[in-house]
Structure 1
Amino acid sequence: MKYYTAIPMAALLAFTLSACSNSDKTQTSEESGSENTEAVSTEVTKLRLSHFWPATSSFSKEVLEPWAKTIEEESNGRLKIELYPSASLSKPQVTYEAAVKGTVDIGSQAHGYTNGRFPLTQIAELPGLSSSATQMGCILQTLYEDGTIASEYEDSHILFMYGAGPGALHTTNKLIKTPEDMKGLRIRRPSAVAGDIIESMGASPVGLPANDMYTSLQRGVVDGLSFPWEAVTTFKIDEVTKYHTNIPFYSSGLMLAMNKDTYQGLPEDLQKVLDDNSGMEWAKKVGEVFDKHDKTALQNAKDLGHEVIEIPDPLNDPAWKGPLEKGTEKYLSDVEALGHDAQGVYEKAKAASASCKV
């Protein structure tokens, strides 16, 4: 979507008479003390960015708004990003496809919202690989840049990957101390990875987008959810849950993707502005924001008097080790059945995890 800045009347008349009203560029002329004038392009390109986070969220306020401002400044105002939060422009589960098709120019989506679409990428979500949002974003960006998962994004232009912090368990009426405590509960699953693990513990995984969680918990549609701490405050989950099992249950991967044709249609200097504000630098910036708010949200739950139990290393905890490994094995087996080298990607994800450890 493009619009044009105001131009002098003489230039406007000349432009109209030239019958070039469909041009994407506007030119202005200024007198320089002689009869010679210089044409200067004033084209401005506006890009619509759709995401599911609330406008008041840390991701919107502390990541996307500064990112958009930086791009506008570095492009001298020729590139503007319009933000559409709270899934107002595209539903959470179809935002990536909306970016691919050009319904939106840029979209941010959790990989888990379209199960089966990013099976290799979601291997990075398995338990034990990430202990922070910064580490998770680094793992994803590393696997994308080294080509391990790049084939899943050939229909888009990836600006950067990012990750949320580990997903803890939050429940309305019961504290989960062991996997046995989950039996019979309805737990929201954010992805197939978490769903396999939830199911391995005897609970019923329920697929719901983050935006629907508050009312679903309030109405008893689900008994709890697996959610990173930052999202607990962002979506006001701490108002409807009072029991928290602080366990690195899984980690969510997300991406910021752009329509490929839109990117390729930009002038090279504007492509460079986007390139300069893409990749690992911004993957880590998002992680730093989320990690900061994860700590604040955890402390806030304690300050509210909520009951919190800590299980920091579940893969070495006798009660949790078995179910977590069972869920991991099931997911890898399912991906292998699709014809992918799931174990090979898992090994690369573990190597990335080690190199990205904060």
Structure 2
Amino acid sequence: MKCSTKYSLALAAIMVSPLTAAAAEVEPLTLKFAEWLPTTSFATEYGAAPFMEKVEELSGGKITFEFYPAEQLGRGSESLTLLQTGVADIANVSPAYIPEKFPLSGVVELPEIVQGSCSAADSFYELAQPGGAIYEAEFKKHKIRPLWVGNMGKYRILTSDKEVSSLEDLEGLRIRTAGGPMALTATALGSSPVRMQGSDVLTSLSRGTLDGVYFPVRGILDYGLAPALDQIIPNLTVGSFGLTYSISDRVWNSLSDQQQEILVEAGQYAMKTYCDYVDNSEPEVIAVLKNEHGIEQTPLSDNELTEARAKLQDVYDQWAEPLENRGLPAKSVIKGMQ
């Protein structure tokens, strides 16, 4: 992952600090961790779980967690409120579910901007730390800070009972998106965007009220959507979905320097563990979708791909201009992600 010099030096200082040796000096602490995703989600398996394990390792078992997955404390759209009210100390705050609170953080939902999970996570993390454009405009005023961030990788177009072999075939299809920039993307490609949470998608596909989805390929397995889908376009990225594992300022400011260092180091470990999985697993998952569920790959031709990218270029301006008019540095955030 690429890192700025300042960020690299700060991380290097943390990584060489004798945290494990000093674990006996760490004050005992139990943190309430709210995760809206289930334990079977790849984000939980390769991100949240390794984070907690690393924290307990570095603290010599002094820092532990009460973990509440699968919306036990609240839905994904309520994660920020859980932190602000003290119901949770750490939570997976997903900007796409509350875009009115985190409009700039929606940058990861722009088409083609996430070309690698690790590179995108590293860029977003820098923007969302104190001094970064996203932190100063959004996280700071909500009194939270990301310990680590991630994304669900490249979102692909998958369809049900609709043969798609060209851009023309996408026109008029009812496509599930996460809202925000993805809705702009669907519209640019001639489809009708339908916003809904992942847990509601299978029913809509089965009833025929949806023709397809924008979804990460591993998420198709996690949400059990494969039986309701027939095709995937594997060579066009229509966005991604951001995850920010954040801690409230109330809790952060009450921690000792050692406790903070442990959480930061564990966050870096989890961020790398998770993004490596996302980056490396897509070909294998696409093969599973084909071999076990009959979902065929229908890549766009080079000419169709060029045409699609030309249409999607306008999405960047459509997303950025209203934010710039509100005084938000959307264009610089785009540059920071590229």
Shorter-chain TM-score range: 0.7 to 0.9
Measured in 1, the distance between the counterparts of 2:253 and 2:301 equals: 45
Match of 1:144 in 2: 128
**Aligned positions of 1:285-304 closer than 5 A:** 285-304=273-292
Q: 1:229 aligns with which of 217, 220, 223?
A: 217
The superposition leaves residues 98-137 of structure 1 with CA deviations (integer Å, 9 ceiling, x where unpaired) of 2233221111132211123222222243223222222221
Match of 2:47 in 1: 63
1:103 aligns with 2:87: yes
Match of 1:117 in 2: 101
Q: 1:307 aligns with which of 296, 315, 328?
A: 296
Alignment length (residue pairs): 309
Measured in 2, the distance between the counterparts of 1:205 and 1:118 equals: 20
* 1:313 positional shift: 7.7
Give aligned-pair identity as a percent: 23
Q: SS of the residue aligned with 1:202?
A: coil
> Which residue identity does 1:223 align to in structure 2?
D
1:219 aligns with 2:207: yes
1:46 aligns with 2:30: yes
TM-score (norm 2): 0.83
Q: 1:204 aligns with which of 185, 189, 192?
A: 192
* Gap runs ≥5 in structure 1: 1-39, 351-358
* 1:254 positional shift: 1.5
Q: 2:314 aligns with which of 322, 326, 337?
A: 326
- Larger gyration radius, structure 1 or structure 2: 1
More helix by share: 2
Match of 2:238 in 1: 249
Measured in 2, the distance between the counterparts of 1:119 and 1:141 equals: 16
* 1:311 positional shift: 4.1
Measured in 2, the distance between the counterparts of 1:86 and 1:312 equals: 40
Measured in 1, the distance between the counterparts of 2:237 and 2:266 equals: 30
Measured in 2, the distance between the counterparts of 1:348 and 1:56 equals: 32
* 1:161 positional shift: 1.4
Structure 1 residues 343 and 213: CA distance shift in structure 2, 3 A: same
1:134 aligns with 2:118: yes
* Gap runs ≥5 in structure 2: 1-23
* 1:75 positional shift: 1.6
Q: SS of the residue aligned with 1:128?
A: coil
Measured in 2, the distance between the counterparts of 1:177 and 1:50 equals: 42
Match of 2:13 in 1: none
Measured in 1, the distance between the counterparts of 2:222 and 2:300 equals: 23
Q: Tell whether the 8 Å contact from 2:35 to 2:92 is kept in structure 1 after alignment.
A: yes
* 1:283 positional shift: 2.5
Measured in 2, the distance between the counterparts of 1:178 and 1:312 equals: 8
Structure 1 residues 62 and 161: CA distance shift in structure 2, 3 A: closer
Q: Tell whether the 8 Å contact from 2:188 to 2:315 is kept in structure 1 after alignment.
A: yes
Match of 2:3 in 1: none
Q: SS of the residue aligned with 1:317?
A: helix
Moved more, 151-160 or 120-129: 120-129
Structure 1 residues 343 and 272: CA distance shift in structure 2, 3 A: closer
Measured in 1, the distance between the counterparts of 2:165 and 2:135 equals: 39
Match of 2:59 in 1: 75
Match of 1:349 in 2: 337
* 1:96 positional shift: 2.5
> Which residue identity does 1:251 align to in structure 2?
S
1:153 aligns with 2:142: no
* 1:163 positional shift: 1.6
* 1:153 positional shift: 0.7
The superposition leaves residues 204-241 of structure 1 with CA deviations (integer Å, 9 ceiling, x where unpaired) of 21111122222222222322110111211111221211
The superposition leaves residues 117-160 of structure 1 with CA deviations (integer Å, 9 ceiling, x where unpaired) of 22222224322322222222122113224612112111102101
Match of 1:271 in 2: 260
Q: Tell whether the 8 Å contact from 2:146 to 2:244 is kept in structure 1 after alignment.
A: yes
Q: Tell whether the 8 Å contact from 2:128 to 2:146 is kept in structure 1 after alignment.
A: no
Structure 1 residues 268 and 135: CA distance shift in structure 2, 3 A: closer
Match of 1:162 in 2: 150
Measured in 1, the distance between the counterparts of 2:168 and 2:321 equals: 24
Moved more, 99-108 or 119-128: 119-128
Measured in 2, the distance between the counterparts of 1:192 and 1:120 equals: 11
What's the Cα RMSD here? 2.4
Moved more, 130-139 or 86-95: 130-139
> Which residue identity does 2:284 align to in structure 1?
T
Measured in 1, the distance between the counterparts of 2:270 and 2:39 equals: 19
Measured in 2, the distance between the counterparts of 1:283 and 1:65 equals: 11
